[in-house]
Chains A and B, each alone.
Chain A
């Protein structure tokens, strides 16, 4: 099993550009989520999904879109990148009856 994979590892965008951060898991987990990590702020939940076709907002959803067409994939879309979205982004997944979230390696995004 590859676990949770994220691409790309690093990305630099200009203000106003759009892009998609990819996240995939091969553990057949229903629950998936996206976090951003900023210095001194811990991890903050952006969006999450409890299964294919079901998504909901987290703590900081503005400027981001998600969709969940398959169990395996949960992409995060930045619609019009802003410098405030410079951060490290983590994707995670969890089995329904498990307490452990498995995290991807993260994507470091810089918006100029």
Chain B
């Protein structure tokens, strides 16, 4: 069965430093997608970045990059040059491409950026 694990309930990072948020996954499907979402205190869900299981390169979107290690089944989010506005809850999610179209979310990591 699909599973997403985020082992860091909370993280602190100093402003302008980089931070890595961990995500490991489990699936038997060879074709899947991995996602990261940001949820600020206002509550909305904001899509950040996507990585396909067959993508050769790690995904990047501005200050966000996804460190995809397929053999380890990990998909860590790296935020470079942290800003105060990055303080939020971050969720890792997975969708198997074949079959059910279901998304599975992790329990989230709360990131606090310190001035």
Contacts and interface: CB of A to CB of B under 8 A. Distances in A.
B50 A99 contact: yes
B70 interface: no
A56 B100 contact: yes
Which range contains the number of A residues in contact with the other chain? 20 to 34
B43 A99 contact: no
A40 interface: yes
A2 interface: no
A50 B95 CA distance: 14
B43 A41 contact: no
Contacts, number: 47
Given A99-B50, A100-B50, A58 B102 contact: yes
A101 B43 CA distance: 16
A41 B107 contact: yes
A31 B107 contact: no
A30 B100 CA distance: 14
Given A31-B101, A48-B101, A99-B35, A105 B43 contact: yes
Interface residues of B, number: 20
A103 B103 contact: no
Interface string B96-111: 0000111111111000
B110 to A, nearest CB: 11
Interface of B: 4, 33, 35, 43-45, 47, 50, 52, 91, 93, 100-108
17 contacts: A33-B103, A40-B107, A41-B107, A42-B91, A42-B105, A42-B108, A43-B45, A43-B103, A45-B103, A48-B101, A48-B102, A92-B45, A100-B50, A101-B35, A103-B45, A105-B43, A106-B44
Q: Which 10 A-B pairs have the closest CB atoms?
A: A103-B45, A99-B50, A42-B105, A43-B105, A42-B107, A100-B47, A42-B108, A42-B106, A106-B43, A45-B102
